[in-house]
Chains A and B, each alone.
Chain A
Amino acid sequence: MTTPLNTHLNFPAPDDFYEALIALHRDLTPAQSELVNAKLILLLANHIGDPTVLAAAMAAARARIDVTAQSPDQN
C-alpha cells in the first residue's frame, strides 16, 4: 500500500536530530515536556499542512497500540 507519508530516512544527521530532541526536554517537568511536545507537534503539523500526510502520520503513530491493555481508570 502506498502512503503519502515519507517513511524513508529523511534526516541528514539522524543522531544529531535525536540528541536535539532529547535535549529539548532537559530540566523540564513532565507537564512542561508535555506542553513542549504538543507545541512541537502543532508547529510541524502546520508546516506539513497536507491533510493526507497528517492523517497517515497519525494512523502510523497509533498503529499496533493495544487500547484494551489500558487500565480502566486511565483516560
Chain B
Amino acid sequence: MSADPVDYQTLVFPYARSSDQQASKPVSHPVVIAGAGPVGLSAAIDLAQAGHPVLLLDDDDRLSTGSRAICFAKRTLEIADRLGVGQRFVDKGVTWNTGKVFLRDDLLYSFDLLPERGHRRPAFINLQQYYVEGYLLDRARELPNLEIRWKNRVVDVKSQSDGALIDIVTPDGTYQLHCDWLIAADGGRSAIRRALGFESKGQTFRDRFLIADVRMVADFPAERWFWFDPPFHPKQSVLLHQQPDDIWRIDFQLGWDADPEVEKQPDRVIPRVQALLGKDAKFEVEWVSVYTFGCQRMEKFRHGRVLFVGDSAHGVSPFGARGANSGVQDADNLAWKLSLVLAGKARENLLDSFDVERVQAAEENILNSTRSTDFITPKTAVSRAFRDATLELARKWPFARRLVNSGRLSLPTMYAHSPLNTPDTASFAGTMGPGAPAADAPIRINTAPDWFLTQCGNEFVLVTFLDVGSLSLLTPAALASLASARVPVRLLNVVPPGTRPHAALIEDADGYLAQRFDARPGTTYLLRPDQHVAARWRAFDVDAVLAALDRALGQAERTP
C-alpha cells in the first residue's frame, strides 16, 4: 500500500485576518459552527450544499493529531456519500466486516457485522481521523459559501433570543460575532457548553487504556481482534485493528493504577507491542496515547439558537465506535432541519425533534457503551466472577458467546418514537418502520447499475413500488398537489426486476428493495432528507402523504 500523496498529518492552514475583526459592531452570520472536526465539517458541508452561507471556526490550524477515531460505520459512510466523500473514505480505508474474540490463546467466536448481500457500503472501514477530516476539508473547500477561519477560538457565548453573540480569540486578539444559529461541535471539553453553564453528566470509569499505533508489514487479516486475558498481556484486554498505510491500532487495557506519563514512554510501549507481535517483529511506533473515558451527555442538545452535536453533547467509551459515528449522525439529523428553518420552510420547533431524536440516540449509545465497559472493566469482585464465568462458558456454549461483550458496534438509531413519524396504519414485516434509516439495495436505472441510497437524501423522497407495466401511481391531480407542497418532494418509482428499462423508473435489480421494505405494488414510503422513514402505506393517497409531510416538518399540531 502506498502512502497518500497528501500528508494530511503535516498540513498547516494559515490563519488569515477577517474584515469582521475590525468591524465597529459585531458582524452577523446566519450559521456559525465551532469546531472543524469530523462532526463540525459534516454539518458545515451539509448546510453549505443546501446553499446556506456557513462560517466554520476552528481553534487550531491543523487536522487531528494522531489517528484518534478510526472505525467508521456503514451509516456514516452513507452520510459521507451524501456529502460527496464516501468513495474517498472507502477507497482509502480498510474495509472489514468480521470481528474475533479470544480468551487467552483461544478463539472464542467470530462475528460478521454485515451478513447480508446487496449493500453498497461495508459494515465498517478503518480510516485515521486525519484522513476523514482531510477529505471532508477538501470537500468543504469546493463550496464557495463555506468559509473556514483557523486559529479562531470561541471563548465565550451569550445566548440571545435571535441567536448568539460569540467572543473569539485569534492571534490578532479578540473579536465578536453575532450569529442567528450556533452549532457547537467543539468537542468533549466544549468551551461553548461551559460558557453557557451547561454540563455533560454521567459516569466515569476507573480504568486506563494505551493506544499504540504501529507501522509494520504484517499478515493479520483486516478484522477486529479482541483478547481477554491474553498471554502477552495477562489479566487485561487488548484490541488489534488495521488502518491504511500499514498502520495497526493496538489498544491495551492498563488498569486504573497505571501512570499515564510513564506508560507513554517508548521503553514501556515497545515491550508491550513486542509481547504481542513477537520479539523479532519489525515495527515503528507512530502515535501513542493513554486515555480514560466516561459515558455522559448533556440533558438537552438544543438550547434555543445553540445546538450541540458530537462530543460536546455526549461522550462514550471507545468500545463500539460510537463516538465519531454518532457525532456525524447528529450533524446528519440537524442539517436538513436547520436548512429548512433557515429557508423559512419549517418552523423553529422542527429543531426540537433534533433534540428528541439525538438524545434518544445518545441514550442508546451510552447504554451500549456502558454495558461493554462493565464487561471489559468489571467494577466489583462479583462482576469479575460473572465476566470470567461467561468467558469460560463461551468456549463451549453459544448462548454464553452472546453475553460476551467486547463492544457492541455502532448501528444507526431507529427513531421509533419520534414526533416526526406517522404511525403505520397497515401491517408490515421487517425493520423498515417509521423512524428507521432506509436500507440500501442494488438498483438499475435504464440498465445502468446503481444503489438505492444514492437516489435518496437531501430532500424528501416519495418511493412508490409499482407493478410491471406501470409508470406511476400518481394521477396528474396528485402530482399537482405534491408539487404545491411546502417543500420539494422527489419521486422514485420502483419496478420489479426484469421490467423493460426506462429512465424514469428504478429497477429493483435483485428484488432486495421490495424484500427489505416489505413492499408490494402500491406500497409507498416517504423518506426524510436524512433517509429515515417518515411514513409508509400500502396504497398511495396524496392527502395522507401531505399530512405525513407536515408532520415530518414538525407541523403535526396545527392551531386552527
Q: Which positions in A face B, CB cutoff 8 Å?
A: 31, 34-35, 37-39, 41-43, 46, 75
Interface residues of B (CB under 8 A from A): 379-382, 385-386, 388-390, 392-393, 399-400, 403
A38 and B380 within 8 A (CB): no
Query: Do B389 and A38 touch across chains, with their CB atoms under 8 A apart?
Result: yes
Among candidates B379, B380, B389, B399, residue contacting A35 with C-beta atoms closer than 8 Å? B389
Residues in A neighbouring B392, C-beta threshold 8 A: 35, 39
> Which residues of chain B are near A35, meaning CB under 8 Å?
385, 388-389, 392
Distance (whole angstroms) from the CB of A46 to the closest CB of chain B: 5
Q: How far is the CB of B248 from chain A (nearest CB, A)?
A: 34
Q: Which residues of A contact B393 (CB under 8 A)?
A: 39, 42-43
Q: Are A42 and B380 in contact (CB under 8 A)?
A: no
A39 with B399: CB separation less than 8 A: no
Q: Whole-angstrom distance between the alpha carbons of A35 and B384 in the complex? A: 9
Point out the residues of chain B lying under 8 angstroms from A42, CB to CB: 386, 389-390, 393, 400, 403
Minimum distance in angstroms from B199 CB to a CB of chain A: 26
A34 & B381 in contact (Cβ 8 Å cutoff): yes
State whether A46 and B389 are in contact (beta carbons under 8 Å apart), knowing that A34-B381, A34-B382, A75-B380 are contacts in the complex.
no
Q: What B residues does A38 contact at CB under 8 A?
A: 382, 385-386, 388-390
Complex interface: chain A residues within 8 A of B380 (CB): 75
Q: For residue A16, give the distance in angstroms from its CB to the closest CB of chain B.
A: 25
Least distance between A7 CB and chain B CB atoms (Å):
24
Q: How far is the CA of A75 from the CA of B106 in the complex (A)?
A: 32
Nearest opposing residue in chain A for B380, CB measure: A75
In the assembled complex, the Cα of A34 lies from the Cα of B399 at a distance in Å of 20
A46 to B381, Cβ gap below 8 A? no
Instruction: List the A residue with the shortest CB-CB distance to B388.
Output: A35
- Which A-chain residue is minimally distant from B402 (CB atoms)? A46
- In the assembled complex, 21 residue pairs joining A and B whose CB atoms fall closer than 8 Å, in A order, are A31-B385, A34-B382, A34-B385, A35-B385, A35-B392, A37-B385, A38-B385, A38-B388, A38-B389, A38-B390, A39-B389, A39-B393, A41-B386, A41-B389, A42-B386, A42-B393, A42-B400, A42-B403, A43-B393, A46-B399, A46-B400
Q: Nearest Cβ distance between residue B228 and chain A, in whole angstroms? A: 14
Question: What is the CB-to-nearest-CB distance from A51 to chain B, in angstroms, rounded to a whole number?
Answer: 14
8 extra A-B contacts, CB within 8 A, seeds A34-B381, A34-B382: A31-B385, A35-B385, A38-B386, A38-B390, A39-B389, A39-B392, A46-B399, A75-B380
